[in-house]
Structure 1
């Protein structure tokens, strides 16, 4: 799920330099590697709390509208890349938010109803000499796309929340990646397939993003199209630095540009069948630990994918800024968290509506008791697990007379989604050829460049 579509929180824009590209770098198999700078939007703590703590009173008469500056600099954000699309006079650079869920890179195209404000003009296919519609008879016009009238191939992308969606037609045009300084190469890829959206509903782009870049496993995703042409091995990687390093830019790396991962742990990427998994990156979670203690009430069945309804399972998505957890394991986790904190003398507070779980008291007595969460993966010994430190799990604030710390994991009926906010300082590498996810702790700010 990408919070591009449903996130209503406030963000800070970090303005980054243009894209740095090195398509001439090759690995031993001859496949190229290149990197795109990541452009993050960081939520303010007030923005996070607006979602976690809807306006109203907490249990015990505490008014959340009296919140003051943050105490933990929560770092969850939404990440985009900057690419040029089009040919001739209509070629412009656009910011596309990353999406690991849906199968298609798409953007607003004229005419688009409603036409959302974005960074740059809306793409005009009529003014791009190399733009071509994908015909309904084209072999790429297959599910989930639809053959329509006038020989067009159409798409209808549904977002994760409510009735949000984008509709339009499939086309192809040139994608351009510009260098980061004098003498840097300018490289382009001709005829990449993408979606031209002529209608959107509840597309929350914060007046910035023109659309999304798909890194899904479907053949029409950006990574699959590049690898099919031999421009990059079918692998991509990112390492998200915390907001304290917002004067630095990280990278989305492809193919040979990915650092050595021989030291990393790995787990299989499941449900590669597009009919079953939709091209999303499923991992097999079998258990959860809180503060180093395995929660036996959370069982593997709570994270299983229902192959009929396609609900359930656990996916990885850098386009989702917070981790969402299926309701059954979430309620167990919250109950154990409350017991853990109460046993240490920390009071629990529920904010309504939404039943958001927080803890109140003096900051000095709260923060030292905050536990970690560990996600355990299947088919592996206990050592193969994703450790999430407390700083990435809680949002803190001060009130008039007391302090509050709130859990930054929320329940979600559809499935479990490991989001960007809980991925910081860990490198994730998605290997589509081996169907494995590699991950390892890393000081991600060391794989960045300065924002000029």
Structure 2
């Protein structure tokens, strides 16, 4: 059995009961028995479809609960000593989120557009000059650093005694930082108490004259500066958000059994922007100051995560190789080596491979990114996906578009719908069938959209976003130069 078959089979076996019942229903060969199956599962019947390239989906299963629910990730967190729970920044599992945040799709999608622009600008090399004036610790006026807003949050411990902090994790950033007292410039409001280095016995500033200080340039927006003898860092993100402060070392606690001493991080004294109420960010990029590189001797530059299908469920972030059933594709190095590149070579819709020249994907390459919500494709590839998906959904009513989406439907009259399967093919023959929640972005029952967008042309880098990564164990074997996808990582 090939990788595609294994992943598809395992995906089908891992769905919730509503998904399983829907899949059984679509296998019934006659219209009369199809109707009977619909009655037996007490749901309104979807429009009939006998195509093996379609899947029946309960509309209710596309919506998160108002309460935080456990998932298969609980076992992963309990069984792996170097594993953190992952929660959605605007879901009910995050104690710092609000109902207003969860409902503000327009703002979230605008921020996603800004992140995409930031990534594409950085990879195109048009970010501009960057400098840090050490005399008054100013942030540079221009920056190509990736927009810092992400969707997923983990809790880490910092200091001795340990203080728990809610932070974003981001494969598109390198520096780990948190807000620090005394907030000599400005600190935005956060849920946790702001970290106070004076209360930790393990905190130490990095010297301005040290080699470590001189090395932070590549993982931040600016050359290091000095505040007395202390090393100063500065990061300005693509949306104008920034953090400036002291570059320091501290004890980092991932779990009771996993403590990293002398971890290098940014102790932010002046921080502004759209960071929500999180305390900071963990950088999982490829630069020397990222968490991945700083723990290379401990975890072998190996980490994985699973993003849950719904914002009301839990996922996980793990460090080190604990085995698993992932199938791999080669990792690609792009013009900015901090990003993780992946070799996308084809897309299938409804069981049929789309006629897209491979050169369309290889023109600028593709980034896999934990912080981008919606996958961005070269214009030619997106138009082919859009046309095939619309053909497969021709029996459903389209509704007006909402940026960045242009293919949306009204599901308000259905308890169950039949949607085309979407499969991505990566280098090395790796085929990945997307979860239904990785195909559709739900604004409301009356506005459910194809969860992809097209770049303005075929020359801008593509971005494989976190919506399409849902439910998979996404593995980064940085030392081995490969990225893997394993089925049933979480639900």
What TM-score do the two structures reach when normalised by structure 1?
A: 0.70
For structure 1, the 5+ residue unaligned runs are 1-9, 26-32, 55-76, 180-184, 306-312, 446-452
Cα displacement string for residues 286-307 of structure 1 (whole angstroms, at most 9, x for unaligned residues): 22222222222464334543xx
The residue that corresponds to 1:234 in the other structure is 301
More strand by share: 1
- Report the 3-state secondary structure (helix = DSSP H, G, I; strand = E; otherwise coil) of the residue aligned with 2:407: strand
1:392 aligns with 2:438: yes
1:345 aligns with 2:395: yes
Give the alignment's Cα RMSD to 1 decimal: 3.6
Counterpart contact for 2:425–2:432, Cα < 8 Å: yes
Relative distance call for 1:169 and 1:52 in structure 2 (3 A) is closer
The residue that corresponds to 1:78 in the other structure is 151
Report matched runs for 1:203-352 at 5 Å: 203-205=274-276, 207=277, 209-228=278-297, 231-243=298-310, 246=313, 249-256=314-321, 258-261=322-325, 264-271=326-333, 276-297=335-356, 299-305=358-364, 313-341=365-393, 344-351=394-401
Q: 1:410 aligns with which of 436, 442, 453?
A: 453
CA distance in 2, matches of 1:290, 1:243: 23
Relative distance call for 1:113 and 1:387 in structure 2 (3 A) is farther
Cα displacement string for residues 246-269 of structure 1 (whole angstroms, at most 9, x for unaligned residues): 3xx44322224x2333xx321111
The residue that corresponds to 1:163 in the other structure is 240
The residue that corresponds to 2:251 in the other structure is 174
Counterpart contact for 1:237–1:254, Cα < 8 Å: yes
- Report the 3-state secondary structure (helix = DSSP H, G, I; strand = E; otherwise coil) of the residue aligned with 2:417: helix
Q: What displacement does 1:14 show?
A: 4.7
The residue that corresponds to 2:146 in the other structure is none
Relative distance call for 1:13 and 1:212 in structure 2 (3 A) is farther
CA distance in 1, matches of 2:156, 2:483: 26
Counterpart contact for 2:435–2:470, Cα < 8 Å: no
CA distance in 1, matches of 2:194, 2:180: 6
CA distance in 2, matches of 1:138, 1:38: 35
More helix by share: 2
Counterpart contact for 2:83–2:255, Cα < 8 Å: no
Aligned length: 367
CA distance in 2, matches of 1:15, 1:102: 29
The residue that corresponds to 2:174 in the other structure is 103
For structure 2, the 5+ residue unaligned runs are 1-63, 92-98, 112-149
Relative distance call for 1:300 and 1:364 in structure 2 (3 A) is farther
Q: What displacement does 1:99 show?
A: 0.7
What TM-score do the two structures reach when normalised by structure 2?
A: 0.65
- Report the 3-state secondary structure (helix = DSSP H, G, I; strand = E; otherwise coil) of the residue aligned with 2:250: strand
Q: What displacement does 1:386 show?
A: 2.2
Q: What displacement does 1:101 show?
A: 0.7
Counterpart contact for 1:11–1:47, Cα < 8 Å: no
